[in-house]
């Protein structure tokens, strides 16, 4: 293959999709959690748990898909701690989420130390989609990926459909907008919140597992490096809409892909300043997104972070 500008661009954009997928899962999960009224700031912790368990299982069984599934489930299990504290015990959701992050980073560093020098024998295989991959340009970017990326495409569409076109979607949105009214409608608010908080954890675990299994193929203490927090920011950027989450995640995937490309090509810009870019850009974009959300009165789910109980007014 000739190394033309187009092929370089295609490689970069294909990497963008993979790098964006790491953020896409947790962002979309948190959108659903927050839509029900639960704020889970523990994404970073759940992601790193998913990353660790995903890596270990993939390494031992030599099966990346099994690793992905276990990593996903591990993230979901971690989310249940947050669900129990914030839904059943009505504890402070901000602090509980932070505790979850500290917990995830601590426990994986504790168990993960002896796994640091291991590397997966190979990354997850690329699967070319017959037909679609032949579409010029687009095909090479989106349809020469792995099964998990294809799974994420279907998931985004399915979740968009569930959120806006189905009864469970109405219920979960109602739980976050006005829990009392939802309750009166016959929605089990707390069960809804439990389910989607668990789902958010699954997705964070999936993002973390994808990071170690397909992207990095090794384990390192704190390997998520703030991606969980970027996902929290992307939820606002996406204005709680799964389709926007796709755009946001790929945008940031693109920034990291570009930053690695630049670092590899040996630019004169110091690497620490390059590595700062994703955080700096998230910071700027979150300001802009907040202003847009305010101007258009979109806003967060009205009862985000507020526990619900029937007895209390």
Q: Is 125 in the site for another protein (CB under 8 A)?
A: no
User: What is the 3 state secondary structure string of the chain?
Assistant: CCCCHHHHHHHHHHHHHHHHHHHHHHHHHHHHHHHCCCCCCCHHHHHHHHHHHHHHHHHHHCCHHHHHHHHHHHHHHHHHHHHHHHHHCCCCHHHHHHHHHHHHHHHHHHHHHHHCCCECCCCCCCEECCCHHHCCCHHHHHCEECHHHHHHHHHHHHHHHHHHHCHHHHHHHHHHHCHHHHHHCCCCHHHHHHHHHHHHHHHHHHHHHHHHHHHHCECCCCCCCCHHHHHHHHHHHCCCCHHHHHHHHHHHHHHHHHHHHHHHCCCCCCHHHHHHHHHHHHHHHHHHHHHHHHHCCCCCCCCCCCCCCCCCC
Kindly state the smallest distance separating residue 27's Cβ from another protein, in Å. 13
**Contacts with another protein, 266-305, as mask; x by CB under 8 A:** ----xxxx-xx--xx-xx--xx--xx--x-----------
Q: Is 219 in the site for another protein (CB under 8 A)?
A: no
Question: Stretches 15-23, 25-33, 103-111, 146-154: which one binds another protein (CB under 8 A)?
Answer: 103-111
Q: Is 260 in the site for another protein (CB under 8 A)?
A: no
Instruction: Find the binding residues for another protein in span 33-72 (CB under 8 A).
Output: 41
Kindly state the smallest distance separating residue 26's Cβ from another protein, in Å. 14
**Contacts with another protein, 175-194, as mask; x by CB under 8 A:** --------------------
Question: Stretches 55-63, 87-95, 121-129, 164-172: which one binds another protein (CB under 8 A)?
Answer: 87-95
Kindly state the smallest distance separating residue 162's Cβ from another protein, in Å. 26
Question: Stretches 21-29, 78-86, 156-164, 247-255: which one binds another protein (CB under 8 A)?
Answer: 78-86
Q: Which residues bind another protein (CB under 8 A)?
A: 41, 81, 84-85, 88-92, 94-96, 98-100, 102-103, 105-113, 221, 226, 229-230, 232-233, 236, 270-273, 275-276, 279-280, 282-283, 286-287, 290-291, 294, 309, 311-312
């Amino acid at each position: 293959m000739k190394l033309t500008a187009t092929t370089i661009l295609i490689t970069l954009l294909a990497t963008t999709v993979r790098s964006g997928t790491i953020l896409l899962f947790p962002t979309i999960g948190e959108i659903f959690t927050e839509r029900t009224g639960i704020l889970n700031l523990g994404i970073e912790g759940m992601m790193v748990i998913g990353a660790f368990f995903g890596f270990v299982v993939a390494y031992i069984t030599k099966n990346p898909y099994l690793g992905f599934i276990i990593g996903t489930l591990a993230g979901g299990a971690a989310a249940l701690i947050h669900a129990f504290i914030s839904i059943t015990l009505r504890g402070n959701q901000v602090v509980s989420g932070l505790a979850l992050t500290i917990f995830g980073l601590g426990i994986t560093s504790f168990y993960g130390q002896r796994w640091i020098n291991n590397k997966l024998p190979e990354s997850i295989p690329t699967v070319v989609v017959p037909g679609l991959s032949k579409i010029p340009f687009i095909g090479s970017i989106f349809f020469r990926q792995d099964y998990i990326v294809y799974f994420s495409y279907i998931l985004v569409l399915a979740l968009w459909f569930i959120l806006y076109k189905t009864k469970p979607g109405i219920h979960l949105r109602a739980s976050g907008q006005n829990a009392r009214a939802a309750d009166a409608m016959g929605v089990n608010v707390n069960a809804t919140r439990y389910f989607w908080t668990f789902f958010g954890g699954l997705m964070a675990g999936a993002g973390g597992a994808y990071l170690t299994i397909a992207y990095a193929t090794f384990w390192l203490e704190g390997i998520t490096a703030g991606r969980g927090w970027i996902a929290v920011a992307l939820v606002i950027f996406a204005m709680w809409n799964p389709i926007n989450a796709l755009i946001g995640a790929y945008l940031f995937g693109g920034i990291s892909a570009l930053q690695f490309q630049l670092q590899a090509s040996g630019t004169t810009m110091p690497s620490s300043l390059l590595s700062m870019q994703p955080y700096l850009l998230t910071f700027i974009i979150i300001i802009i997104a907040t202003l847009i959300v305010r101007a258009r009165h979109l806003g967060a789910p009205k009862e985000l972070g507020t526990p619900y109980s029937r007895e209390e007014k």
